Every structure is written in structure tokens, then in C-alpha cells.
Structure 1
Amino acid sequence: MKKAISTQAAPGAIGPYSQGIALQNMIYTSGQLPIDPKSGDMPKTIEEQTKQSLENVKAILEEAGSTLKNVVKTTVFLSDMNNFAKMNEVYSQYFDQAYPARSAVEVARLPKDALVEIEVIAYK
């Protein structure tokens, strides 16, 4: 049976979806925008936004009883592929080898005009 994951330590859903779903021993997060859950603000730079998106992912995983060490797949959405290297610098600080499998794609636009959005699949 699937279970919705919800935490105040990450921004609330802005539509009809859950922050994450746990199914058996797997966790699927929704894409996390770089919104500070306390202030509702979004940082300006790609580095700060990447960090905040990953902190939001981390909070959801922890609420579900998991950690970033258990992430097996990430998807990174970028509004500009020219930000890839700077995003990657911050991203690499959050994961150890063996790194998760990853897709990184440029999209035309992200909600709230964010520069990055990140979703993950992890296990408990």
C-alpha cells in the first residue's frame, strides 16, 4: 500500500500531489523546487538553489525513514544547461560513491521561474 509523505521541513505541495510517496521499501519524491520552507523565499543563484532543492529532498527522505545515501536515481531539471557545471559542484557534495544514476535535462521553464528542480528515487 502506498503512503503519502509529508513534512513541514520541505515546501508544501502547490497542487494535487504529495511531497513524496513510500511504497514498500521505495520512496519517490516529487520534484523539489528551491523554496525555503520556513520563509517561502527562493535563493537567487544556481548554487544556492541546488543546495535548497537537495535540502528539501533530504527532509522528505528523512521523514520517510531514509537518507540521501539510499538514493538510487535522481532527475535534475535545469532552466538553462549553462548552469550544469555549477549545479554539479553543489550536487557532488550531497552524494558519495557509488553515485546515484542521474538524468539532467534542460526544460523551457520551471514553476516559479526556478533555475533547478530535483526529484529522487530512494529505498529505506
Structure 2
Amino acid sequence: MNKTVINPWQWQDHLGYTQAVEIPLATHTLYCAGQAAINAQGQPVDGTMEEQIGLCFDNLDTVLQQAGYSLKNVVRLNFYTTSIEQFFAAYGQVMNRLQRADCVPSSTLTEVNALAFPQLRIEIEATAVK
């Protein structure tokens, strides 16, 4: 995959994302539904923000692999959280997963009042290309 990172500034570099990613002539695009802390039986899993972030990424990895992609193919991540404060307190978990995969996506973070189940604190939506 040939991609160009577009960063007019440097301040976002330590946060693990980029302002834009250009993929010329991508042959396939995968739009992933939001992945939350849901187990294989479809039940929400209560846990800390860090634990839920880990399960969100595990679920995203499962979806990506099933479709023949990996986290490295992800060019956009949208984070929906019920607490930006808790999210940033656990942001090391996000950075660890992205750095291990050599993934530097464009990204948006939004605080919401609630997610699909009251136990959920975070949901991650992804777009991947190859």
C-alpha cells in the first residue's frame, strides 16, 4: 500500500495520529463498524477504560483479520468515549497498540453521553485500505 502522510504541523506526532492520509488508487476499502468491549457472545464487558480499549482493539483486529487486513492497513480511527478524561488517562494503551502495528491513522475523538450499553466507555470505528 502506497500512502502519504500529510502533517502541516508536528504537535500531533506524540499523540500517534496524523492530520490526513492519502492513498492513491487503493484497490480495496474496508469500513468497520464501531468496535466496543463486547465478548464473542455479544455481551458487553464491564471494565476499566484501559481494559475496554484493549478489548476494542482485540475485536477490531479480529474483524480486520477476517477480511484479510491488519491494523497496519487502518488509515482512519474514530474514538467515541463517555469520558475524555478517562480516555487520556488510558491513552498509553492506544499508543502501544498503534505503535506495535506501525499504524499512524487520521483520527477523531468525540465524547458522547452514552454508547449502546451502559457498561461501555469506548467504541472505536476504523477505515482500512489495501
User: What TM-score comes out, normalization by structure 2 length?
Assistant: 0.71
Partner in structure 1 of residue 126 of structure 2: 120
Q: Does 1:110 align with 2:115?
A: yes
Partner in structure 2 of residue 35 of structure 1: 38
Partner in structure 2 of residue 82 of structure 1: 85
Say which is worse superposed, 96-105 or 34-43, in terms of deviation: 34-43
User: What TM-score comes out, normalization by structure 1 length?
Assistant: 0.74
Higher relative contact order (CA 8 A, sep 6+): 2
Amino acid at match of 1:81: I
Amino acid at match of 1:121: T
* Identical residues among aligned pairs (%): 27
Gaps of 5+ in 2: 1-26
Q: Is the 8 A contact 1:35 1:43 kept in 2?
A: no
Gaps of 5+ in 1: 1-23
**Number of corresponding residues:** 102
Q: Does 1:47 align with 2:20?
A: no
**CA–CA distance in structure 2, aligned partners of residues 53 and 41 of structure 1:** 11
CA displacement at 1:45 relative to structure 2: 0.4
Task: Tell me how large the CA RMSD over aligned residues is.
Answer: 1.9
**CA–CA distance in structure 2, aligned partners of residues 41 and 31 of structure 1:** 13
Partner in structure 2 of residue 26 of structure 1: 29
